[in-house]
Structures are given as structure tokens and as C-alpha cells.
């Protein structure tokens, strides 16, 4: 086990409680669809390069009737960044010690009309302390109503803390969730923020509200679309789109790189990959 200070423990507790709330809601949706699918939880431990205990996490995955594959992972890790990687992390260039706790979620849906989604929030400590994360909607078949409602929920969460948050973090998401070699965005956007440091209480409260906003809106979108009729052409479109999603996560996603560079659980790191995808 790694030792946590009061702020680190509070952040860890929140991410784990948010995981529990989200998983319960997703399982409830499966019940509404006549499925008894539930999350399977796999704990994992990490050894730091120093040889000391480096924390760990729990990988949660459900494969059901509505959620073809959804992963909701929590982790709390710490120790030392190895080599040159430390210089790429905020506040770790001169001191490679770090702590990180967070939640990461990716849902790939069975019905092509139901949007896939990503949500991640985290608290990191190096020589600095900051929060980061966000959420973005990734529909194979976009609907303007869904996009508007998703963004409205995130804007409400942002506006409660700083009127500059939403326009800034929406722009950041548009720039980050972009596939340069395809010259397309990964989805219809959301918010993305990083290195949010300063007052712990304010930034923690904002990060909590991002999680609550996600929990308030995404299940509504799932219920809105999960009964829609779909065609073989819709399924082909979904699987081709998933190929683009996989390309982004394997080539550009910072979270994937962070997990691999810090000795995280491989199955947890790569749970974001879709169950079935196609390439022409």
C-alpha cells in the first residue's frame, strides 16, 4: 500500500464512489432492457520501478445487451517516473516522484444509434497538485439533440464554477480529441481540462461536478436511443467509426501513454478499445 495524505484520500474516495454510482446506473439500464449483465471487477497491484509497492486499482467491465462493452476503472498509484518520461509530466521534471488517483470510463454500445462515450477525471501530485479530465461524446450516428443536451449538462457544471471554464475546456476538447492523420474529430466533443491547480477545494468541487454532470446526462441519452431500430448499414458505420476511435487511443491518447509508462495494468489501460471494429 502507498500512504495517502488527506487530500489524496478524499480524491480517491470520491472517484471510487462515483464508480459505484455509475456502475449501478448502467446495470439498471441493462435490467430495463431485460438483461442480467453486471460488472465484473478485477483488482490489480502495481510494483514501482524502485521495487516498492506502487498502488493499484480495480478494473470493472460489463458486456450486456445495451452496453456491448463498458469499462469503468479506478486506480491509485504512486512512486517514481522512469527516465525521460518525468520531463513530460507537469511538475516532475526535477523530481520524478508522483501520485495519481482517478476514474476512467469508456462505453461502446450495442445499438449504433446510442453514442459511445468517454469520461475521465483524476488528481495528480508531483511538485505541483492538480486535477484534470473531462468527458466527450462519440456517436457513430450523431443526433443534434443528443449533442446539445450533453454539452448543456457540461456547461451547467462549468458555469457553476467559472464562466470561462466551458468555452475554454470545450475548445481544448475539440483540439485534443482530433485524429490528425484522418483530419477528423473523434466525436462531437465535450470538455477537456488539465493542470487545474491552485485552490484544492474549488478544483475538487469542480471535478466532482463534472462527474455528476456525466452521470446526470449520459444515461438519459442511452435510454433515449437504445430502443431504436438499426440496419446492417448502421452497424457497418459503427464499426468503421470504432476503427477511428481505436486509432486515436493507440496513437495519440495521453492516458494510454501514462498507463503504459507507469506500469499500469495492461487490460485496464486498453479497456477503451472497442470489442469489434473494421478497417477498409
Helices (H) then strands (E): counts for the chain: 7, 9
Is 118 among the catalytic positions?
Answer: yes
Q: Give burial (CB, 10 Å; 0-12/13-18/19+) of 224.
A: middle
Helix, strand or coil for residue 83?
helix
Cell 464512489 locates to 17
- Report the distance separating Cα 8 and Cα 1, nearest Å: 13
- Report the distance separating Cα 232 and Cα 256, nearest Å: 32
Q: Which of 108, 118, 165, 185 is catalytic?
A: 118
Q: How far is CA 195 from the centre of its chain?
A: 16
Beta bridge partners of 57: 44, 75
> Which long-range contacts link 41-49 to residues 24+ away (Cβ below 8 Å)?
42/267, 44/265, 44/268, 46/77, 46/79, 46/262, 46/263, 46/264, 46/265, 47/263, 48/78, 48/79, 48/80, 48/263, 49/79, 49/80, 49/82, 49/263
Could you list the active site residues? 118
Amino acid at each position: 500500500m502507498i500512504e495517502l495524505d488527506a487530500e489524496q484520500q478524499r480524491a480517491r474516495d470520491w472517484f471510487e464512489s462515483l464508480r459505484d454510482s455509475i456502475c449501478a446506473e448502467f446495470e439498471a439500464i441493462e435490467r430495463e432492457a431485460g438483461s442480467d449483465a453486471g460488472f465484473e471487477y478485477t483488482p490489480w497491484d502495481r510494483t514501482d520501478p524502485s521495487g516498492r509497492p506502487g498502488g493499484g486499482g480495480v478494473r470493472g467491465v460489463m458486456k450486456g445487451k445495451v452496453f456491448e462493452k463498458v469499462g469503468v476503472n479506478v486506480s491509485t498509484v504512486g512512486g517514481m517516473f522512469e527516465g525521460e518520461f518525468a520531463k513530460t509530466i507537469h511538475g516532475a521534471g526535477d523530481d520524478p516522484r508522483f501520485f495519481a488517483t482517478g476514474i476512467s470510463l469508456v462505453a461502446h454500445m450495442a445499438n449504433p444509434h446510442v453514442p459511445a462515450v468517454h469520461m475521465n477525471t483524476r488528481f495528480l501530485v508531483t511538485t505541483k497538485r492538480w486535477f484534470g479530465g473531462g468527458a466527450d461524446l462519440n456517436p457513430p450516428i450523431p443526433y443534434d439533440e443528443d449533442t446539445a443536451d450533453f454539452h448543456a449538462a457540461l456547461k451547467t457544471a462549468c458555469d457553476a464554477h467559472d464562466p470561462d471554464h466551458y468555452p475554454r475546456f470545450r475548445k481544448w476538447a475539440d483540439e485534443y480529441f482530433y485524429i490528425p492523420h484522418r483530419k477528423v474529430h473523434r466525436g462531437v466533443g465535450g470538455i477537456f481540462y488539465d493542470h487545474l491547480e491552485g485552490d484544492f477545494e474549488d478544483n475538487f468541487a469542480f471535478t466532482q461536478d463534472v462527474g455528476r454532470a456525466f452521470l446526470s446526462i449520459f444515461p438519459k441519452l442511452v435510454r433515449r436511443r437504445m430502443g431504436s431500430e438499426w440496419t446492417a448499414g448502421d452497424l457497418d458505420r459503427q464499426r468503421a467509426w470504432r476503427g477511428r476511435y481505436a486509432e486515436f487511443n493507440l496513437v495519440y491518447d495521453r492516458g494510454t501513454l501514462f498507463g503504459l509508462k507507469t506500469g499500469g495494468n495492461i487490460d485496464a489501460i486498453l479497456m477503451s478499445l472497442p470489442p469489434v471494429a473494421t478497417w477498409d
